[in-house]
Amino acid sequence: MSRGARQPFLRLSIPVVSRLSAGNMLTRAEIPGLICTALLVLVGLFLVRWHWRSWKRIENDPEQATLTRWFQSRRRMQVAGLIVFEGLLLCVGDAILPILQRADWITPRQLAAMWGIDMLAILLVAIWLVLLAMGDLAVAVAQARLERLRAGQQERSLCEEIERFRDLHGDPET
């Protein structure tokens, strides 16, 4: 080697690094999907943090920290966590698997199988999210119905008490 020739600072002979080149990285078609999955993960993480903080605020209040409220908070934190997981699964299917295939780490047949498994997992998580949302809706409707029944019962009780008071002290209107 001549004295004027530059030697590379670090010679990478690791097969992992040599397979990844600029041509194997993200394409223009994959970037919007990756941005959307990143946003999905960020929204999910924000929701997990928000629901956790809201539970921690009411945890020490015995009037609000009921078992029903805990289950509601747990359901909502699970939904938020599954949104994060859904985003990660989308990232795997949209960006990571195509990069691995372009780097010749997996064959097109393996890509198709892994992509199918990824899409099946995404579908199952989405179904679970829908079931959790329907459960949360059902509980909210039942709680609203229970509150209406309690309010009606309290109204009837107050009306009976007013009638007893009028009977005891005479009705000034008659």
Residue 138, domain member (yes or no): no
pLDDT(112) > 70: yes
Residue range of the domain that includes 97: 28-128
The pTM (predicted TM-score) of the whole model is: 0.69
User: Would you state the pLDDT for residue 61?
Assistant: 78
147-156, pLDDT tens digit by residue?
A: 999 999 999 9
Length of the chain: 174
**Within a domain: 124:** yes
**Closest C-alpha to 75, from 148, 115, 17, 135:** 135
Angle between helices 67-91 and 108-169 (to 10 degrees): 160
3-state secondary structure of 63: coil
- Give residue 31's pLDDT: 83
CB 90 within 8 A of CB 33: yes
Residue 44 lies inside a defined structural domain of this protein: yes
Number of structural domains in the chain: 1
Within-domain flag for 87:
yes
Average pLDDT, the chain: 82
Confidence of residue 5 (pLDDT cuts 50, 70, 90): low
- Residue 39 falls inside a structural domain: yes
3-state class (DSSP) for residue 84: helix
**Is 66 among the domain residues?**
yes
- How many Cβ atoms are within 10 Å of 145's Cβ, its own excluded? 10
Q: What pLDDT score was predicted for residue 27? A: 75
Q: Give dist(CA 152, CA 174) in Å, integer.
A: 27
Task: Give the model's pLDDT for residue 74.
Answer: 86
Residue 158 lies in a domain: no
